[in-house]
Amino acid sequence: MKAAKIPYLLNIAFFILALFLSFASKVDSKTWDWFPDTKDYLNQSKISVYSSEFYFTHSHPGFYPRPFTVPLFYKLTGSNPKRIVWMQKFMHCLATFILVYSLLLMFKTRVARYISILPIYFLMSWWNIFGWTTQVLSESLILSFLFLWIGTFLIFFIKRKPWFLAIHIFTTILFSFI
């Protein structure tokens, strides 16, 4: 095995470990009950994605619609709070993986690559950041998409391939409507 591939394999190993540990963390489902925006996101996620009302929702008393990205991800989980938390944890780990991958592409020395891996995974496991994934709130997806946006931008900047640009544009659109 080439020494140059070891940091990439470490990133995969840390991704799997982070995913396992994040899924093992407990969730208190009663915590988000009193957040009004959670109810708005869940109500909006029950609207059909084929309806313009999903994307350009009108407010009425007791319902204040939000941009479509968070309700879309909630819809993908069937608007089930437990599955939403699992999805948020997966997105958090995926964003960390993509961000670290982009940094590994940027750094040319072996030492810089090794040094970049652990701090990012530690930063992402810090409770003030990871704690948002255990709540049915938009903050988790906002952070994940911020890190995805930075990561996909760096990957496109380094690789300069059209499909990396397409991935970055797609991430930018979703991030813009969060």
Q: What is the pLDDT of residues 93-121, one digit of tens each?
A: 999 999 999 999 999 898 999 999 999 99
Domain ranges (residues) in the chain: 3-30+83-176
Mean predicted confidence (pLDDT) in 50-75: 88
User: What does each C-alpha distance from 71 to 19, 24, 32, 43, 92 come to in angstroms?
Assistant: 23, 25, 16, 8, 17
User: What does each C-alpha distance from 26 to 4, 131, 133 come to in angstroms?
Assistant: 37, 11, 11
Mean pLDDT of the chain: 92
Share of the chain above pLDDT 90, in %: 75
Q: Tell whether pTM > 0.75.
A: yes
